[in-house]
Amino acid sequence: MDIDLPSECKDVTVGHPIDGLENFRELTTPDAGIKPGVLFRSDQLDGLSDAAIAELNGLAIETIVDLRTPEELKTYPNAQIPSVDFNVNLPIGSDPADIAKIMPIEIASQIRPMWFEGKFDEIDQLLADHDVDLRQIRIDRYRDFATKFDPQVSRFLHLLTDANNFPMLFHCAGGKDRTGYMAAVTMLTLGYSEEDAVRDYLTTNAFTYDELEQLVGKGPHSLRPAFGAHPEQIKASLQAVKDAHGSLDTYRRDILGISDEEVESIRQNLLLQN
């Protein structure tokens, strides 16, 4: 099965405490270093039941950061959580899982009926005939996260410097791609390693394994790069930062405008003090 799982997977506790949310969780770290109940990552919060809203309200979430586009917000509006006083929209492009946005529309429109008819070999051939390399398209998209949305990433990290913004929840559509990049930058800012950031990123596959098992196991090979979290994708975004700026610290300080003092504030807000 072509599904990448995080290292030390047996130590990852998988649960779905909020009804209707498949990828709601706190950051996954190799230690107990991040304060519990302070920073959550998730898929989109539309169509939630009253019970789910009550559960989120019970977490006393103060701030929600939505990484989706205004179009996505309008089509799938988030449920209103009574405890939330601060909603921030930091759009990082369109949903990377929307194939209509990542390949010519005339090709994307042919894939849907083929999928439902089980014509997976024909999908593979269609993409090959039109030189659509979804693996490379996805990698390029992740590089875009690191090079085209600096104001959004900067604003997010600045939000983390203010203790009044917590507990905080940040999300995109599926809680994997855009959320995954923002989570990786956050973990690196906290002092965790790239390996730790990739581990958290791949935890999405543990939380959504049942769905992925169906999509990856039965779906066309050519579309597999769009399903689940792939380490090469998040690694491509982090490498793009280093290629463009020399180091992640330079990116953080000179491009995102996060000073060493502000990093210390973020760490004070999020890390348990030993």
| 41-86: pLDDT as tens digits | 999 999 999 999 999 999 999 999 999 999 999 999 999 999 999 9
Predicted confidence at residue 99, as pLDDT, reads 60
Domain contains 4: no
Does the residue 1 lie in any domain?
no
As a whole-number percent, the residues of the chain with pLDDT over 70 amount to: 90
pLDDT at residue 131 in the model: 83
Residue 2 counted as domain residue: no
133-to-144, 186, 221, 230, 258 alpha-carbon distances in Å = 17, 30, 11, 15, 36
Any domain includes 3:
no
131 phi/psi in degrees, rounded to 5: 55, 40
CATH of the domain at 190: 3.90.190.10
Number of folded domains that form the chain: 1
Q: Pick from 157, 141, 172: which is nearest to 67 by CA?
A: 172
CA angle 149, 96, 190 (to 5 degrees): 50
Determine, yes or no, domain membership for 74: yes
Assigned token pair, 176: 């994997």
Which one, of 150, 174, 179, lies nearest residue 65 by Cα?
179
Q: What confidence tier does 240 reach under pLDDT thresholds 50, 70, 90?
A: very high
Instruction: State the residue range of the domain holding 254.
Output: 9-270
Whether the model clears a pTM of 0.85, i.e. scores above it, the answer is yes
Q: pLDDT confidence of 107, banded at 50, 70, 90?
A: confident
